[in-house]
Amino acid sequence: MVFQAIRSRGVTDERVLQAMENVPRHLFVPEDQRDAAYGDYPLPIGFGQTISQPYVVAMMTELLELAEGDRVLEVGTGSGYQAAVLAELPDVEVYTVEIIPELAEKAKETLESLGYTNVHLKQGDGYHGWPEHAPFDGIIVTAAPDHVPAPLKEQLAVGGRMVVPIGPRGGYQTLWKFVKQPDGELTAHNEGGVAFVPFTGEAARRAE
């Protein structure tokens, strides 16, 4: 999977590639999907949610440019797979928020069973981030809002990177990488088209 679907498509950060090799993806998908766990495509995990395709997970992780000692916020824990990949990076502390209680509980069980002590998970609306642990050196959003949530912008450290798919509900989105400048503004880098499940919670209410 790593060689055929990830390295060959341009992901070059060896730490990210090693993280993708280390995480047993089949343990993050439902049992009836495990035969397909290492294919390069998303899979359903219940409640209308998916586990992202491996290439997208690796590419978004690389875009965060995390360094040792960094703190990263993930919005949309889902199965916990992306959090596990982030947690495999050397000396990175992961904070992850999931709005669906059942998915949050299942992800917590999986992550704990695999010994990820550097992952901190809470159930709640990720639109609001996790202000108690801000600022974050990286923020990764794994569901699609139609705008950058203001609390996430505020919780991003100066020089920090935010990777987020933005677009209308029910359509394709553009993946953006934002870098926070000293004046608090974000510089934007278009990273191409993607397809994510839509944001729920506060972001969805604001879009209506």
Active site residues: 52
Closest to 40 (Cα-Cα) out of 14, 65, 8: 8
Contacts of 100 (CB under 8 A, 6+ apart): 47, 49, 123, 200
- 177, two tokens: 């990488």
Q: Return the residue matching tokens 């090799």.
A: 21
What is the rounded distance in angstroms from the CA atom of residue 165 to the CA atom of residue 197?
10
